[in-house]
Structure 1
Amino acid sequence: MDYEMNSDTKGLTTGIIREAEVDQLNLRLDVLLNPDDEAAKILINYSAANPHLTGWTEDEENKLKRKVDFRLMPILCLIYGMHYYDKAMISQAALFGLQEDLGLNRGTRFSMASAIFYLGFMAGAYPAMFLAQKYPLERVAAAIVVLWGACVLTTPACVSYKGLYTQRFFLGFLEAGVSPMWMMICGSWYKKNEQALRIGIWYSTTGYVSIFSPLINYGLGHIEGSLSNWTYMYFFAGACTIVLGIATLFVLQPDPIRATFFCERERYILIARMRTNNSGIRNQTWKKDQVIELLCDLKFWLVFLMAAFGMVNNGAVSTFMPVVVSGWGYSSLTSLLLTMPAAAYAGTLIVLSTYCAMKFDHIRTWLIVAAQFMTTLSAILLWQLPRDAQGGLLFALYILPSTSATYAILMGLQIANTAGYTKRALASSGIYIGYCLGNFVGPLVFLDHEKPKYSTGFIITFVTAAATGVMGVIYRLICQHDNRKRDREGVHEGFDHAFEDPTDKVNKQFRYII
């Protein structure tokens, strides 16, 4: 009697596992069982109880993937969209009196108010991931979302730029865990070739939310009341965030091991198919040797630097875009409306690029190079075009968020090319710290005395974007070298150690995607 075991991970063979082979697989898992790995225990218990039902069809697997998508993606998208909405609202509040009320219209105070948020991000990323590994991730996520919603609600209490600096720092500290936790969730539910698109879907909300947020905030900014116009934006956002945080506790399912909406067989299939990732699913043991290995891993530092360099221009996108446009002489409403195409472009490019990463082999690093080329082109145009060439300037401004596609692909690369649960958790936080570093520097290079041209800002954007593209090529070459070296050593790609929690460096059967 034959049983199919499908694998749609690129480079693997889709075939049939016969009963004898299933028995050998079960024996191998039993011998190699890591007592700390919850996934391996579930596989062995199911295989022992159902020795003739250890295979599955491709239709079964596809139906389960759709079920996971339906349950998981909406909550990930809603929270990540609110995450971006809350942090980027300062750029729209600035058009409705925030700068004047809090004294941000002097020197570099407004730039610092944006940048200091990312100092909080850098401080909060690793503590959040440490808590997420030690405790149920959905509880950690829910607590973080509720607390950051409360932090947003405190913004109207700020009476000076110093108070806003403090609020922005703690808002960044609280929001820091969302992106790395979402990466870990995708790594626990999806195969390598499936991860990029799912990460791209929730990350694309940074663009799509920016289509609607200007209209929402324009309406809120015109409320006539006893408080300043901009304060109503923060009351609305904070309340929505708290409601989402409470929902997170009941809706978010962090991994198939503890998910509540699957039967025993479905859980088995979802876990067994993840063997092809060679990275396990969940392990609560903190391993110092994996920390040391990560810090010595050149590929990790390349991804970190690409995230940092690539995100420098995000300071212009998330903070200065409405301000830059209004500096060309447009009204507040027109400035907000003119930024909407850039948001649509960013969201769509993220989805398309991550879809291509899923659909086609070996193109992820080339997609990074292409996105950075568009960013360098945008920076050159914004730097060199005369200020009265507003058609060309708007085109350049609209393609400036191309670097968002780079970061979406980098998140997928980082989670797919890192094995070992502790190492992967830290790598997820590490890329986010690089992201924060770039976002911190970004607003500071747009000097107030250079407006509306901001020559220094766009020159630095050009240099960092070009450097990111070069590093993408270097990363590709290193991964190719490591894969070929393992092939020459006679160790073929396999999944014998998938649930033993080895790192990608230790497990010679591991292969890097490019």
Structure 2
Amino acid sequence: MALPQDKKSLDMVDEKTRSRDEEKDAYDVTVSVADSVEGDEALKLVGRERTNQFSEEYNRKLRRKLDFLIPPLCAAVYFTQFLDKTSLNYASIMGFPITGQHYNLVSLAFYLGFLVWEFPTVYISQKLRVAKYLGANIIIWGIILMCHAAATSFGAFFALRFLLGMCESCVAPILILIITMFYKKDEQGTRISWFYVMNGLTQVFGGFVAYGISFYDGHAIVPYKIIYILLGGLAILVGVCVVIWLPDSPIHARAFTTEERIAILERVRDDQGGSENKHWKKDQIVEALTDARTWLIVLTTLTTSIPNGALSNFSNIIIKSFGYTSKQTLILSTPGGAVASLTTLLCGWYSDKKNERMIPIVFCLLPTIVGSAMLIGLNGSGNKGALLFAVYLIGTFGSALSSVYAYNASNTSGHTKKNTINALTLASFSVGNIIGTEIFQPKDAPAYIPGKIAIMVLLTVQLFISMFLRWINMRLNVKKAAKLQEEKVKHGWSDEDVQRERERHAFMDLTDKQNPFFVYTA
């Protein structure tokens, strides 16, 4: 009697197994349809679970290949952008015809265009191939920059600077996205610093170029026009290189084999940052706007950008006010760029080495606060050496924005949420720079004491915001770890099960809050 009973039980088990298999097949079909919208583009190459293993040596060689292609092109873009954006600073002491409050308004026009077009450009870029879209914008702004040489009136310069800002507004969001798609979290801070360092290097390069042009004494063309023609031509060249060589994503990276593209995606799988998704998701926008950390990032970007807007357009005027000639000012501005570059590289290295994003911001703000205090305290002293040293100290604060970019890259998941937060960050960057162009008022020249006090106060406030953000992320990680432990016990998961679930979640285009396996970087 026992045998028939056992056979009946086995038949029941077989029936249940067939039922589960049918459900699984139906689920897989549903998933494959949903993946095209809900999941990342990465699912076109890799599955939800890891099926490909690559050796450490293979990944090291692959990273080296990435480093020879992506960071240099990103750096060329940022070099061009910052040089073109600050071209007005060099033109201001090389015969530029706009002065006084009109000069302030021309400075402001760039960031106004930047602000107006930031959200539309991010939306458009998500729908298109991001690198191709970036390259087209660079070519267009190179043409616009060359047109500056033909402008003669305030209205023309204002309009051209506005258009320049519109074209350049896509740069940082796209470069940050590209870095996050190709690099792991503990590599992103360094790679972002490798392109952001161009902010300082352009100050050195631009200073020497402007210094050389300043010796031109011909009458065929005004010196500042030469600057615009040269820089515009350089931008067009960089734009063409970007269109040809910069990959849009690991899926469309033509310079890499299919195996290498899969390996790139598998390298970043455990970071839970995802790759890309062409569909805008309303719930991710809502989450970005209701996340308190988003607005703290907006605030910290604002407090950095106001000083940037002031100093990027007035630093040469400040140095000249110490009693130097125009030629001396151009050459003496270059060490400040070297200081900024070194600070950016050191902060990027420390950021990845210690898995920190906010502490490097503190390191780079403190010298600027000291430098601002020196400029205020030593005003009228005639001590040129000490005043120049103070100006060079101020240059360290620029790397704070590089750390903010790295923070966004490492602490945000969900493609739409990433784009929303990057757009808000750059919008606050433009608002801060607009305000910054007005804190150095003509009536306060040549000392600009109120503006220098404002810089010192703003960066002091930013210190506290940065530490508060760090505390929030550490607290969120504790909560996530506790919740994950609860789920592990509830489902009876082993460590292998947890790893499997982590891999399955990687390319689901979930936000950092939706994904239980996402870990924040302090």
Provide TM-score, normalisation by structure 1: 0.89
Q: CA offset at residue 309 of structure 1?
A: 0.5
The match for 2:385 is 391
- 1:375 maps onto 2:368 in alignment: yes
Q: CA offset at residue 490 of structure 1?
A: 3.5
Q: CA offset at residue 315 of structure 1?
A: 2.6
Contact 1:369–1:470, Cα closer than 8 Å, also in 2: no
Contact 1:32–1:500, Cα closer than 8 Å, also in 2: no
- 1:210 maps onto 2:210 in alignment: no
- 1:60 maps onto 2:58 in alignment: yes
Identify if the C-alpha distance between structure 1 residues 382 and 267 changes in structure 2 by more than 3 Å, giving closer, same or farther.
same
The match for 2:282 is 288
For residue 148 of structure 1, what is the amino acid of its counterpart?
W
Identify if the C-alpha distance between structure 1 residues 308 and 326 changes in structure 2 by more than 3 Å, giving closer, same or farther.
same
How far, CA to CA, are the matches of 2:339 and 2:110 in structure 1? 25
Identify if the C-alpha distance between structure 1 residues 142 and 368 changes in structure 2 by more than 3 Å, giving closer, same or farther.
same
Contact 2:371–2:393, Cα closer than 8 Å, also in 1: yes
The match for 1:114 is 107
Contact 1:111–1:444, Cα closer than 8 Å, also in 2: yes
Cα deviations by residue, 1:96-148 (Å, 9 ceiling, x for unpaired): 110xx2xx323x22222212211111112222211211011122111100110
Q: CA offset at residue 359 of structure 1?
A: 1.0
Contact 1:30–1:44, Cα closer than 8 Å, also in 2: no
Structure 2 residue runs without a partner (length 5+): 1-26, 489-497
Cα deviations by residue, 1:224-277 (Å, 9 ceiling, x for unpaired): 242322111111111111122122111111221110122222111111121122
The match for 1:136 is 129
How far, CA to CA, are the matches of 2:49 and 2:297 in structure 1? 38
For residue 339 of structure 1, what is the amino acid of its counterpart?
S
The match for 2:517 is 509
How far, CA to CA, are the matches of 1:29 and 1:366 in structure 2? 45
**What pairs with 1:296-311 in structure 2 (closer than 5 Å)?**
296-311=290-305
Identity, % of aligned positions:
28
How far, CA to CA, are the matches of 1:392 and 1:29 in structure 2? 69
Cα deviations by residue, 1:213-233 (Å, 9 ceiling, x for unpaired): 112123234442423221111
The match for 1:251 is 245
The match for 2:419 is 425
Contact 2:84–2:231, Cα closer than 8 Å, also in 1: yes
Bigger-Rg structure (1/2): 2
Contact 2:189–2:406, Cα closer than 8 Å, also in 1: yes
The match for 1:35 is 36
The match for 1:85 is 83
The match for 1:415 is 409
- 1:184 maps onto 2:182 in alignment: no
Contact 2:192–2:405, Cα closer than 8 Å, also in 1: yes
How far, CA to CA, are the matches of 1:284 and 1:384 in structure 2? 53
The match for 2:194 is 201
Contact 1:29–1:44, Cα closer than 8 Å, also in 2: no
Identify if the C-alpha distance between structure 1 residues 259 and 394 changes in structure 2 by more than 3 Å, giving closer, same or farther.
same
Of residues 381-390 and 203-212 in structure 1, the stretch that sits farther from structure 2 once superposed is: 381-390
1:146 to 139, 144, 159: 139
For residue 140 of structure 2, what is the amino acid of its counterpart?
L
How far, CA to CA, are the matches of 1:31 and 1:475 in structure 2? 39
Provide TM-score, normalisation by structure 2: 0.88
The match for 2:508 is 500
Q: CA offset at residue 368 of structure 1?
A: 1.3
How far, CA to CA, are the matches of 1:252 and 1:90 in structure 2? 29
Aligned residue for 1:375, secondary structure, equals helix
User: How many pairs does the alignment contain?
Assistant: 476
For residue 87 of structure 2, what is the amino acid of its counterpart?
M
1:170 to 138, 163, 166: 163
Cα deviations by residue, 1:127-178 (Å, 9 ceiling, x for unpaired): 2211211011122111100110111011122222222111111111111101
How far, CA to CA, are the matches of 2:31 and 2:466 in structure 1? 36
How far, CA to CA, are the matches of 2:484 and 2:233 in structure 1? 58
How far, CA to CA, are the matches of 1:278 and 1:490 in structure 2? 15
For residue 410 of structure 1, what is the amino acid of its counterpart?
V
For residue 269 of structure 1, what is the amino acid of its counterpart?
A
* CA RMSD of superposed structures (Å): 1.9
The match for 2:440 is 446
Contact 1:153–1:234, Cα closer than 8 Å, also in 2: yes
How far, CA to CA, are the matches of 1:495 and 1:394 in structure 2? 53
Cα deviations by residue, 1:5-55 (Å, 9 ceiling, x for unpaired): xxxxxxxxxxxxxxxxxxxxxxx99996623322123113997xxx6xx21
How far, CA to CA, are the matches of 2:366 and 2:515 in structure 1? 35
